[in-house]
Structure 1
Amino acid sequence: MSSTTLYRLSGISLLIGGLFAALAAVPVFFTGEDPTSPIAATAALLRIIGDMLIVVGLPGVYSRQAQRAGLLGLIGFLFTFVYILIQGVVGDTIEAFILPFLASAVPSLVKGSPPQGLVIFFLAGGLLGLVGSVLLGVTMLRAKTVARWAGLPLIVGVVLSLGGSFLPPVVGTTGTVLFLLGLAWLGFDVWSSLQSMSQPEGTLESLQK
C-alpha cells in the first residue's frame, strides 16, 4: 500500500469517525446521561464505532505532517490520542455496557459517587485532552492552510467538554460535538487535498516552519 493511499484512508477514517461520533452525541442533548435510557446506551454504542475510526485515522493523518509539526505538535497529538482512548473508547464502552447493567442490577451503586480510582482515571484523561487539544489546535492555527481553522473547534470544544462537569450538561455535550467536528474537518482536508493533489504535502504541511 502506498503512503498516499494510507494517508487518504486515514483522512476518510478520521472524517467518518468524527462525523459519526458527533451525530451519536446529539441524543445526549435530550436524554442526558441517564444510564437507564436505552437511547443513551445505543448512542454510546454508536459513538464507540466513531471513536474507533478516529483512533485508526488520527495517527496516519498526524504522520503526514509529523516532521513539520515539531515537539508541540507531537505532544499535542499523543495527549489528544490518549484522551480519545480514555474519554471516548473507554468512557463510551462504560456508558454502553457497564452502566446500564449496574443500573438494573445495583441501582444504588449507580446513584452513588463513582469509585475514586475511576474519577482519577477520567480526570487524568481530561487533563491530557485539555493540554493535548490546545497544543494541537494552536499548532494547526499557525499552519498556512485552510484547515488551520479546524484547530479552533478542537480548542473550544475540549474546554467546553471538560467544563461541562461544572456547568449544565448541555455545555459539555456541545463541546464534545465541536471537538469531534474539528477532527472530522481535519480528516476531510487531508482526504480532499490528496484527491485533488493540489496540496501534496497535506493538511498541516506548513506547521511550525
Structure 2
Amino acid sequence: MSITTTSLTRAAGLSAVVGGLLFIGVQINHPALSLDFVTSTEFAIRQGMKVGFTVLALAGITGMYLSQVRRAGVLGLVGYLIAAAGFLSMFALEVAALVVVPAIVHAAPGYVNDFIAVAMGGHAAGDLGLLTTFNSVVGVLYMAGGLVFGIALFRANVLARWACVLLAVATPLSLAIPLFPFINQRLFAVPTGLALISLGYSLWREQRTQVASAPVGSQAVPASVR
C-alpha cells in the first residue's frame, strides 16, 4: 500500500470530522468541575476526548492548509501557524489537566480549585505561577487562529465557504461568554465543532472528487517522492 498525498489529505479531512465530533460530544451533559469530579473515571474519559480533539484538529487544519498552500498565501500561513500553536498549547493544557490535576487534588486542593476557576474563565484566589498567563495565551491563540485561518480558507475558495465563515466567527465568539452568563458556556464550543466537521468533510470530498475525475490509468504520486 503506497502512501499518497491524496490519501493523507483525505485522512486529515476525516481527522477534522472526528475532532469536531469529539469537541461537541465532550460538552454534552458535562458535569460542573469540582474536586470530586476531577478524580472520577468520567473526568479521565472526557479529558482524553479533549486531548484527542486537539491532536485530530491539528492534523485536520494541517491537511487543509497543505491542500491549498499556494491559494492561501501569506495570510494562510500566518493563520495556520497561529491556529496550530493554539491547538498545541491546548494539548499541553489538557494533558496537564488529565495527568497532573487528579494526582495532586488531595495534596493541594486549593491549587486545584484555582486551576478549575481559571479553566472556567474565573480568577484564582492563590498564586498559579505562569499557568494563568499560559491559559490566557491559549485562549488568544485559539480565537485568533480560528479567525485568521478561517478568513484565509474563505479567500482560497477551495473548501465550503460557509464553513470557513463559521470557523472565523465561531472561535472569537468565545469573547461573548461573559455577556451571556445565563447560557452554558460549553454551548459556545458547538459552532467550532460544526465548522471543523464541515471543513473536514469538504476536504475529504474535494480529494475524493479529484480522484474520481482523474484520467483512467493515472496514478497518484506517493507522498514520499513529492
For Structure 1 versus Structure 2, the TM-score category normalised by the shorter chain is 0.7 to 0.9
* Contact 1:51 1:84 (8 Å CA) reproduced: yes
How far off its partner does 1:150 sit?
1.2
Q: Report what 2:190 is aligned to.
A: 177
- Output the TM-score relative to the length of structure 1: 0.80
Say if 1:180 and 1:143 are closer, same or farther in 2 by CA, change over 3 A.
same
Q: How does 1:13-32 map to 2 (within 5 A)?
A: 13-28=15-30, 31-32=31-32
CA distance in 1: counterparts of 2:78 and 2:212, whole angstroms:
25
The aligned runs of 1:1-209 (5 Å cut-off) are 1-28=3-30, 31-37=31-37, 38=40, 39-87=42-90, 89-112=91-114, 113=124, 115-144=128-157, 147-164=160-177, 168=181, 170-197=183-210
Asked whether the 8 Å contact 2:34–2:113 carries over to 1, the reply is no
2:16–2:196 contact (8 Å) kept in structure 1? yes
SS at match of 1:105: coil
Larger relative contact order (CA 8 Å, sep ≥ 6): 2
| Structure that is richer in helix per residue | 1
Contact 1:13 1:57 in 2 (8 A): yes
Gaps of 5+ in 1: 201-209
Residue deviations 1:25-80, cap 9 Å, x none?
Answer: 3233xx13335312334211122122222222321221010111011111111101
Distance 1:161 1:43 in 2: 20
Q: SS of 2:170's equivalent?
A: helix
Task: Give deviations 1:156-183, integer Å, cap 9, x for gaps.
Answer: 3222335446753955422223212212
The match for 1:205 is none
Deviation at 1:191, TM superposition (A): 0.5
CA distance in 1 between partners of 2:182 and 2:69 (Å): 35
Q: 1:128 to 1:86 in 2, by over 3 A?
A: same
The alpha carbon displacement at 1:86 in A equals 1.4
Output the amino acid matched with 1:86. S
CA RMSD of aligned residues (A): 2.6
Tell me by how many angstroms 1:146 deviates.
6.2
Amino acid at match of 2:143: L
How far apart in 2 are the matches of 1:161 and 1:172? 8
The structure with more radius of gyration: 2
Cα gap change, 1:141 to 1:60, in 2 (>3 Å): closer
Contact 2:50-2:94 at 8 Å conserved across structures: yes
